[in-house]
Amino acid sequence: MSGKRGLVMGVANNRSIAWGIAKATAAQGAKLAFTYQGEPLRKRVEPLAAELDAAIVGHCDVTDPATIDAVFAETERQLGGLDFLVHAIAFSDKNELDGRYVDTTAENFSKTMLISCYSFTAVAQRAEKLMADGGSMLTLTYYGAEKWMPHYNVMGVAKAALEASVRYLAADLGPKNIRVNAISAGPIKTLAASGIGDFRYILKWNELNAPLRRTVTIDEVGDTGMYLLSHLGRGVTGEVHHCDAGYHVVGMKNPEAPDL
Ligand code: NAD
């Protein structure tokens, strides 16, 4: 990744999946720039950026297009262009990540779709202009897009739309040699995940039933990201790649697992 420039959006702290991807790409020589969402997170992101000798390109709240424009202008100023983009952003009202999907409000449906799905397209529009020599874009999704998961609710619907947008963006941007992929990560204890009802149960269930009999780490997702963002993934686009200890192939509870 030496000589490659990447914008990483979605680091909140050192447990963030975006941080795992940042570490993996920086370890291979990439030059990174980080955004942060609001002042409280700036204080957490600055020391992490310093650890990787990464630039900070400012506050970005994807519900405010002016802040998206500003961080891309600053990225161009500081890095001169882009070779890859990491989008690791999602949000939904915690009250609706519990109970039944059928009770979702129109307001939270729209907000979840805007932040967790449309924002990838919004940043892809800006990133395309900075990827003069082609590039690679990556977002994060979850198996709840494909199958019902307890409490995942409207986020599952947003992730399904996000996965569809990966395919449409890949088709649109492929002629410019820009690849677009998603990693479908297994459950990991992060700030965003703590908003999901009964998340400890989901973690334990995966640990007992995934083929590898464990969950994945941000470093494992980071290495998968490294492959998709680098020359190693040059033939891959429009893909939703699972990094979940194999959980997505399981159709039934492991008969040897204890009851939860
Ligand atoms: P995290 O809390 O570390 O990261 C979520 C990020 O989203 C934060 O940096 C936050 O600032 C950002 N964000 C939220 N609303 C925003 C807004 N309006 N504008 C800009 N940024 C905003 O949690 P994470 O688990 O690392 O999440 C990263 C991505 O991975 C998300 O898309 C999440 O859905 C996905 N994912 C997580 C898991 C998991 O189990 N943790 C599994 C699969 C996929």
Residues labelled catalytic? 142, 152
Q: What is the per-residue pLDDT for 232?
A: 98
What are the CA-CA distances from residue 226 to residues 100, 170, 187 (Å)?
Answer: 36, 18, 19
Q: Which atom of ligand 1 is nearest to the CA of 37?
A: 11
Computed over every residue of the chain, the mean pLDDT equals: 97
Average pLDDT over residues 120-137: 98
Query: Residue 197 pLDDT > 90, yes or no?
Result: no
Q: Quick check: CB of 37 below 6 Å from ligand 1?
A: yes
**Domain layout of the chain by residue ranges:** 5-245
Residue 107: is it exposed, middle or buried by C-beta count within 10 angstroms (0-12/13-18/19+)? exposed
- From the CA of 155, how far away is ligand 1's center (Å)? 11
Q: Which atom of ligand 1 is nearest to the CA of 141?
A: 44
**What architecture is the 5-245 domain classified under in CATH?**
3-Layer(aba) Sandwich (3.40)
What phi and psi, each to the nearest 5 degrees, are found at residue 247? -55, -30
pLDDT tens string 209-237: 999 999 999 999 999 999 999 999 999 99
Query: Residue 260 pLDDT > 90, yes or no?
Result: no
Between helices 119-130 and 153-173, what is the axis angle to 10°? 30
pLDDT tens string 10-37: 999 999 999 999 999 999 999 999 999 9
Distance CA 191, CA 246 (A): 23
* pTM, entire model: 0.98
Place of tokens 């003069």: 132
pLDDT tens string 71-110: 999 999 999 999 999 999 999 999 999 999 999 999 999 9
- From the CA of 158, how far away is ligand 1's center (Å)? 13
